Amino acid sequence: MKRTFLFKTLSILTIWLYSVSMVYGGQVMTQNERTWARQVIEKTDLNQDISKIASPNTLAVLYYTNKTGKPELNPLEKGLAVMLSYDLSKIDTIQVIERIKLQALLDEMKLDASAPITSKNAPKIGRLLGAYNLTSGAILTGMKAPLELQPYVIDVSFNNKAKLPTTSGKTDNLVRMEKKILFSITDQLSIYLTDEEKADLKVPMSKSSAALTALFIGIDHSDRGEYEQAAAMYRQAISKDPKLQLAHDALNELKSMGMAAGGNGQPNGDDGQFEDDSINTWLWVAGGVAIAGVAALALGGSSSGGDSGGSDTDTGGDGGGGGDTGLPVVKPQITSTVPAQGSAQTVPCDGGQLQFSFNKAMDPASSVGIVFSTPHTNADDPKWSGSTPSWTSAGKILVVNYSSELLCTSGSPDTMNVTISGAADSDGAFMDSQTFSFNVELP
């Protein structure tokens, strides 16, 4: 009896792990996806009945279109698709097309990723992706809330576009709004969900809006081939929410492919995850550990607390470097800024220079993530961007020049937030993300 139970348990876990690796795939565009997209475009008969090239349960989640005129909301275009794909992939009765295939197809067709799907191009995109149904939407400025989302579902066979109920709120309410869209999609597609499935779908990918935003920006960097910038944003996402697994997976994928610092089967010092030569190997190793744990339980073994304690140690192993010595790792951190943040001295709104002093010498080759933001969300507010940072004083001072992309006015925000992440010292220890607020000098 015990052997039968153990065999079934191992079988189920093996199938589950294989399914997860197939569903989530990766976030890095490879030659395989590019070749697939090229062949699909060349060989697909766009006049063919969709039922001959796609199953009725296939669904492609397309990017949303930002119609607000607010560039700070651009990360939600891909972000909403990532969140919805992540949740919809949990439903056994739906086959969700991998996001990276959508990106490969858009790249090959030279289409704007944020361009809205219309009645003219929907049948073509659906057939090329092999998707019977499409879902996407628009990001709007609400009448009573700063953010409104208008989702819809397209039946490719009839080219029928069905608008779903809108949802609105603040950007901090993104998870709640995404869940509302999720269940409106399942209702539109007449998908039956058990109470257990509904409860599982209500679990958020992350409760941190800052972590999710950093993840979305990282994915967009990766799609553009900007892998070090992507890695920096993934690290920032992890620093905001260490339990955001998709950020861990994406960062490990970059490292395993040699596109970011780390890899080669070494313990990672910045996100507490183990890296191997390929993300698939990492998935199977992790699955083996899980299977071994369940097998021990099935055989009546008592190892409670052992695995849990190991996990806590891994998550807390942030910093890297010096791990073999048993000595505590001293993470690099910024100790002062010029101008001093929050002081009476202000920084020019239209542009200037910032200096960040570190407590130890840093590696000039490490990828530094710099994000400018403001506590305000007015469409006509200036949007700051920074130049490529440089190091002085033997790697102890980071110099960043910034400029405003829009005109500064007397009604502009009086605070500029700058988030620094991703920098590593010569031992490979990564800094925790740090945010600084500067007073802005207005005209």
d(CA 261, CA 428): 9
Helix or strand (DSSP H, E) at 438: strand 434-441
Residue length of the chain = 443
C-alpha 286: how far from its chain's center?
Answer: 21
Say what the pLDDT of residue 413 is: 67
Say what the pLDDT of residue 298 is: 38
pTM of the predicted protein model: 0.58
Strand 133-140 relative to strand 58-61, pairing: parallel
Say what the pLDDT of residue 409 is: 74
Say what the pLDDT of residue 61 is: 96
Burial bucket for residue 308 (CB in 10 Å: 0-12, 13-18, 19+) = exposed
Phi, psi of 177 (to 5 degrees): -65, -40
d(CA 210, CA 216): 10
d(CA 382, CA 347): 14
d(CA 227, CA 163): 36
Interior/surface letters 21-48, b for 16+ CB within 10 angstroms, e for the rest? beebebbbbeeebeebbeebeeeeeeee
Q: What is the pLDDT along the chain (443 residues), one digit of tens a residue?
A: 444 544 444 444 443 343 333 344 589 989 999 999 999 999 999 888 888 888 899 999 999 999 998 888 899 999 999 999 999 999 999 999 999 999 999 999 888 777 777 777 888 899 999 999 999 999 998 888 889 999 999 999 888 889 999 999 988 889 999 999 999 999 999 999 999 999 999 999 999 988 999 999 999 999 999 999 999 999 999 999 999 999 999 999 999 988 887 644 333 444 444 333 333 433 333 344 333 343 333 333 333 333 333 333 333 333 333 333 334 457 888 988 988 886 667 888 888 899 999 988 888 876 688 888 776 656 566 678 887 788 888 888 999 998 887 777 766 667 888 888 878 887 667 787 788 888 888 77
Q: Strand, coil or helix: what is 58?
A: strand
- Quote the tokens at residue 186: 């399942």
